[in-house]
Amino acid sequence: MSKKKQFALAAALTGATAAVLTAGMFVRREVVKRRPFEIEEATISDMQRALKLGQTTSKDLVQMYLDRIERFDRDGLKLNSILELNPDALHDAEACDVKRTVTANVGPLFGIPVLVKDNLNTAGKMHTTAGSVALADHIAQEDSFVVRQLRKAGAIILGKANLTEFANFMTDKMPNGYSSLGGQVMNPYGASFDVGGSSSGPGAAIAANFAAAAIGTETSGSILSPASSNSLVGIKPTIGVVSRSGIIPIAHSQDTAGPMARTVRDAVLLLNAITGVDEEDEETVWSRGDIPKDYSVFLKHGGLKGARIGIDRHYMESLGDNKVKIINRALEVMKSKGAVVIDPVAIPSSDALEGRESCVMYQEFKWDLNRYLEQLPARVPVHSLKEVIAYNKDHADAALKYGQTVLEKSESMSGDLGEQQYLVDRADDIRLSRKEGIDAVMKNYRLDALIFANSAGCDIAAKAGYPSITVPAGYTNEGEPVGVTFTGMAFSEPKLIELAYSYEQVTKNRKAPELS
């Protein structure tokens, strides 16, 4: 019997029996009655184990997440973290369940529901909008590279998550988590807490157990900030580890996608799936030899032993005493597990970076966004940054609750990446963030990683294009989540994963929010 016929027959099986295909033969077995699978705080490994044992199905997982979204995102607390659900999610899940009966070896993401931020292209029936009413009718003609990788791994795209509009590069006054199309995302740990941005929808949704994990994007803090604010693990990779093609951009020198999950292991499983060489993103081509085949081999319990970790207290000056105590406690835990904590260290260029203005992001935004928009089909009303600004003015009641000062400043730029001021500013960004910044402090103190509270050091790492991982560190007296962030030099993800996983396993700090 051909594989095609086997697959068709397996799809037709119903009732209390199922067929397992082995060596071209049907072996009938009775399906035991499943006990209810608890979706809340379930890891990807938990789900795969339950799927393998027949305790649940991918269709069940999707339905349980849809039920939670209806109960807490659309109703109840109204977290507003989901912009759009995939109308084919249940169908895709059924296909995974059938395929599982004929395929013995599937990957860790096979049949697992995930969310993606709504600035990643998704072909099919879902829109890609960056949260803008101007792009409300945009359906991408093809998947972004990251989404293709997820589908290739067998993941089910459950839906598109809300975000801070245009990834928080629209106006100076935009609150984290607001978009004109999706409204305001709320923090599931408390309405008074900042939800973080710009990947606020993925952050709130995964914290609230609306999917197994999610893909966010970051230009400067947009993964680390919402991950910290929602007691999640967020990985901001080195530029070049993950392709940016098919993602609505801000600035190509700093943009990247990355995983957001409830555990380090789950985040690493996502990272494994979305890496790869993409000819449309030359950074991934240049990084070809620097990316391990499997990041999960660095999930080591003893990763803190002997590690040299430094903390620049300058980046904690704006924190309240309660949050400082949480970070200090995290450092003591690291010391107790054999880490050498250098406290304090000083990043030489921190003042210079914070005290200067750079045109890089504004120039790149105009250049990059125009390249993206000009390819959109005619039915979309905007095909340039200038047209976005005009559309927003014509629909001000819906589009301009907080203005568009950043869009207008970017449009005032030349958009010429050969312009002298752009070249000078970009060279200064690299020099101050790398050679005179992170490189200098890490070499001077022989560090394996720098420690920051929440996303405090995101800007210097973003300008350098260097990786960071944030992990839950605890909660304030009021219940607000606090994260501890590990930052390293280019392609140091393996060491950062060791440190983050070891710290997570020792502390087990994450607690699910109470959604009643």
| Segments of the chain with pLDDT less than 50 | 1-32
At residue 287, the pLDDT reads: 97
222 is catalytic: yes
Inter-CA distances, 45 with 143, 266, 502, Å: 26, 8, 18
Cα dihedral 257→261→264→265 (10° resolution): -100
Domains and CATH numbers, the chain: 1-33 (no CATH), 34-357+425-507 (3.90.1300.10)
Structure tokens at 355: 């005290």
198 is catalytic: yes
- State phi, psi for 259 to the nearest 5 degrees: -85, 150
Distance CA 191, CA 177 (A): 12
At residue 34, the pLDDT reads: 56
Task: Look at residue 7 and give its three-state secondary structure.
Answer: helix
At residue 104, the pLDDT reads: 79
Contacts (Cβ under 8 Å, ≥6 apart) of 195: 176, 177, 185, 186, 187, 203, 204, 226, 229, 230
At residue 17, the pLDDT reads: 34
DSSP 354-421: HT----HHHHHHHHHHHHHHTTS-TTSS--SHHHHHHHHHHTHHHH-SS--HHHHHHHHS---TT-HH
Helices 58-68 and 44-53: crossing angle, nearest 10°?
130
Distance CA 413, CA 363 (A): 6
Burial class of residue 136 in the structure, from the number of CB atoms within 10 Å of its CB (0-12 exposed, 13-18 middle, 19+ buried): middle
| 434-476 pLDDT per residue, tens | 999 999 999 999 999 999 999 999 999 999 999 999 999 999 9
Catalytic residue among 220, 222, 253, 410: 222
Structure tokens at 398: 């819906």
DSSP 423-475: HHHHHHHHIIIIIIIIHHHHHHTT-SEEEEETTTTHHHHHHHT--EEEEEEEE
Catalytic residue among 117, 323, 337, 366: 117
Query: Is residue 188 reached through a cis peptide bond, with omega within 30 degrees of 0 on the bond before it?
Result: no
**β-strand partners of 482:** 474
132 is catalytic: no
Catalytic residue among 81, 132, 198, 231: 198
Contacts (Cβ under 8 Å, ≥6 apart) of 295: 268, 271, 272, 493, 494, 497
Structure tokens at 450: 């720098």
At residue 66, the pLDDT reads: 98
Inter-CA distances, 113 with 43, 215, 275, 372, Å: 11, 12, 19, 28
Global pTM reads 0.93
